């Protein structure tokens, strides 16, 4: 009996028209909201030629902003990596009182506006803040200085790693760890040889997200930095200053560098996923 072509379509499949419409809609949306702005950033940056673009980037203040941004990321990301692993380990593998409170606290930076996060540090460490006089007497400046920028960034980015790992570790349970311990492994050996390999892809993803946010954070950092050019300006802050000064080419040049960093991060993630596809598939089974 000749098969009716329609009957061969999978039960959950859609007609060709629906498929084209759905895919088209997704592409259109992506183009309008992601690709177009990205293209605009680069075209604006190069609007007055490569020379102006390079000049905008090699300006000493811009270079300083790049340096500060990278430094903040270098401090904030490892800190949150350690914290995130510790917190998700505690939450996923142990039962204890106040667990839901800890979970809620981890989410706090997500639920609070970044501006408020910044203000909290000003209230704590600012000249008229709780610890302000004591810090001044001891010659330590946090607000309107680099330590403040680092603190605010750490605060804002700390949920990323933990949020990525908690569901993963909860799903994996504790059987693997128990197996390792019964076989005679110490706590550290269990963590290094069993837990860490089980979570490494989730961890990597969390770190990449955390890094992207650490480099791009604006609100909280803006409150505590004081916008001192060449000193406490990170790249996003520097872009804003340049833009407000109608120096569009330089503003977009720095912005494009920031966008480029994000793209590199994404590309690195895609490359790793492609390179280790087998292991990722194995880890998920």
Partner 1 sequence: MAIEIRNVEKTFGAFTALGGVSLDVRSGELLALLGPSGSGKTTLLRIIAGLDHADAGEVSFDGQDTRDRAARDRQVGFVFQHYALFRHMTVFDNVAFGLRVKRKAERPAEMDIRRRVGQLLDMVQLSHLATRYPSQLSGGQRQRVALARALAIEPKVLLLDEPFGALDAKVRKDLRKWLRHLHDDMNITSIFVTHDQEEALELADRVVVMNHGQIIQVGTPTEVYDTPADSFVFDFLGGVNRLNGIVDKGVARLDGHPVRVDGEVGPEGPALIYVRPHQVELGVAPADGVPEGKWSARVSMVHAAGPVARVELDLSGRALEAQLSRDRLSDLALQVGSWCTVDFRHARVFPARA
Applying CB under 8 A, among 103, 124, 262, 283 the residue interacting with partner 1 is 283
Nearer to partner 1, 137 or 175 (CB): 175
Q: Give the max Cα distance, the chain.
A: 93
Q: Does 170 bind partner 1 (CB under 8 A)?
A: no
Return d(Cα 195, Cα 170) in angstroms, integer.
12
Return d(Cα 174, Cα 170) in angstroms, integer.
8
Nearer to partner 1, 167 or 187 (CB): 187
Applying CB under 8 A, among 58, 167, 189, 263 the residue interacting with partner 1 is 189
Q: Does 8 bind partner 1 (CB under 8 A)?
A: no
- Sites for partner 1 among residues 221-280 (CB under 8 A): 279
Q: Does 282 bind partner 1 (CB under 8 A)?
A: yes
Let me know: does 177 contact 194? Beta carbons within 8 Å.
Answer: yes
Of 19-27, 28-36, 79-87, 170-178, the segment contacting partner 1 by CB under 8 A is 170-178
Nearer to partner 1, 260 or 277 (CB): 277
Q: Does 100 bind partner 1 (CB under 8 A)?
A: no
For the CB of residue 279, give the shortest distance to partner 1 in the complex, in Å: 7
Nearer to partner 1, 95 or 244 (CB): 95
Residue-wise DSSP of 246-277? T-HHHHHHHHHHHHHHHHHHHHHHHHHHHHTH
SS3 243: helix
Nearer to partner 1, 16 or 184 (CB): 184
Nearer to partner 1, 37 or 197 (CB): 197
CB atoms within 10 A of CB 10: 6
Q: State both tokens at 120.
A: 């909290």
Q: Does 175 bind partner 1 (CB under 8 A)?
A: yes
For the CB of residue 89, give the shortest distance to partner 1 in the complex, in Å: 17
Q: Does 185 bind partner 1 (CB under 8 A)?
A: yes
Residue with tokens 């902003």: 65
Let me know: does 268 contact 222? Beta carbons within 8 Å.
Answer: no
Q: Does 169 bind partner 1 (CB under 8 A)?
A: no
**Closest Cα partner for 82 from 157, 190, 185?**
157
Q: Does 285 bind partner 1 (CB under 8 A)?
A: yes
Applying CB under 8 A, among 15, 49, 133, 197 the residue interacting with partner 1 is 197
Let me know: does 222 contact 118? Beta carbons within 8 Å.
Answer: yes
**Closest Cα partner for 152 from 118, 119, 126, 127?**
118
CB atoms within 10 A of CB 111: 8
Q: Which residues form the interface with partner 1 (CB under 8 A)? A: 175-176, 178-186, 189, 193-194, 197-198, 279, 281-283, 285
């Amino acid at each position: 009996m000749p098969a009716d072509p329609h009957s061969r379509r999978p039960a959950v499949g859609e007609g060709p028209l629906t498929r084209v419409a759905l895919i088209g809609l997704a592409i259109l949306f992506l183009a309008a909201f992601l690709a177009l702005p990205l293209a605009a950033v680069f075209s604006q940056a190069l609007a007055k030629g490569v020379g102006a673009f390079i000049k905008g980037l090699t300006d000493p203040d811009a270079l300083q902003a790049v340096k500060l941004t990278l430094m903040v990321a270098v401090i904030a990301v490892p800190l949150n990596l350690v914290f995130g692993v510790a917190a998700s380990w505690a939450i996923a593998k142990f039962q204890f009182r106040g667990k839901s409170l800890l979970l809620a606290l981890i989410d706090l930076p997500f639920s609070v506006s970044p501006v408020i996060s910044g203000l909290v540090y000003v209230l704590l460490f600012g000249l008229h803040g709780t610890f302000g006089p004591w810090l001044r007497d001891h010659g330590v400046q946090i607000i309107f200085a680099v330590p403040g920028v680092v603190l605010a960034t750490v605060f804002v980015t700390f949920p990323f790693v933990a949020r990525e790992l908690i569901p993963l570790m909860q799903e994996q349970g504790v059987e693997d760890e128990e197996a390792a311990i019964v076989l005679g492994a110490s706590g550290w050996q269990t963590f290094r040889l069993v837990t860490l390999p089980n979570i490494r892809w989730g961890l990597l993803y969390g770190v990449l997200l955390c890094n992207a946010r650490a480099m791009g954070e604006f609100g909280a950092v803006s409150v505590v930095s004081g916008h001192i050019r060449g000193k406490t300006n990170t790249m996003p802050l520097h872009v804003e200053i340049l833009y407000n000064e109608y120096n569009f080419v330089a503003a977009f040049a720095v912005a494009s560098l920031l966008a480029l960093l994000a793209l590199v991060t994404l590309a690195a993630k895609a490359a790793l996923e492609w390179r280790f596809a087998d292991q990722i598939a194995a880890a998920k089974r």
